[in-house]
Amino acid sequence: MSPSEQYSVRIKDVALLAAFALFLSTIEYVIPKPVPYMRIGLANLSVLIGLTYLNLKEYALLAVLKVLGQGIVHGTLFSYIFLLSAAGSFASALVMLLIYRTASRRISLIGISAAGAFASNLAQILLAGVMLFGSAAWLIAPPFLAAGLIASVVLGIFAEKFSRESLWLKKRRGAAA
């Protein structure tokens, strides 16, 4: 495959994963949650999948598209909530990338997903503390972090299984390599 053909394959995969994130954001938006600022992080699934075969630039692009997509779907694009969401997504994407690049032999997508959700929630709590509530933001930290941990481990198990067994993903990786 020529470089330009390869580029076109890869950029399509980024677009596909971003569309997937948008779709999952919509699903997440529809699921009722006990408190509105609690998130399951379904859209993180596409970032986890992307992590396993995209290069740095494509991965960053995917993260940006995911954040924008979520802002549009949740209708928060031009509010302070978007800042929280963006900070969370980028913190999580960065932590997951660092762990994957340095320790993917010892850690699966399950641990990476948990660490990513933790980073996302921590970033949001810190930012909420700075922007809105001061140290009182820590009051919601325990249930917020605990819910995030449970949701992220479940998503991580799914992502790990999917990443190992999906024939579709195997084909995509082959096409992108």
Partner 1 sequence: MKMIGKPADAAVIAGIVVFIVLISFQVYANRGEASQVRIDAQGEQWIYSLDADQRVMIPGPLGDTEVVIKDGQVHIPDSPCRNKICVTSGLIHRVGQWLICLPNDVFIRVEGEVPRDQEVDDVAF
- Site residues, partner 1 (CB under 8 A): 35-37, 103, 105-108, 110-111, 114-115, 118, 132-134, 136, 138-139, 141-142, 145-146, 149, 153, 156-157, 160-161, 164
From residue 165, give the alpha-carbon distance in Å to each of 21, 136, 162, 168, 171: 20, 44, 5, 9, 11
Tokens at 150, concatenated: 């449970």
List the one residue out of 70, 44, 31 whose CA is nearest residue 152: 44
The least CB distance from residue 172 to partner 1, in Å, is 21
DSSP 32-61: --SSTT----TTHHHHHHHHTT--HHHHHH
Amino acid at residue number 96: M
From the DSSP assignment, how many helices (H) and strands (E) are in the chain? 7, 0
List the one residue out of 57, 94, 70 whose CA is nearest residue 18: 70
Report yes or no: 155 and 48 within 8 Å, Cβ to Cβ: yes
Dmax over CA atoms of the chain, in Å, equals 56
- Of the pair 77, 140, the CB lying nearest partner 1 is at 140
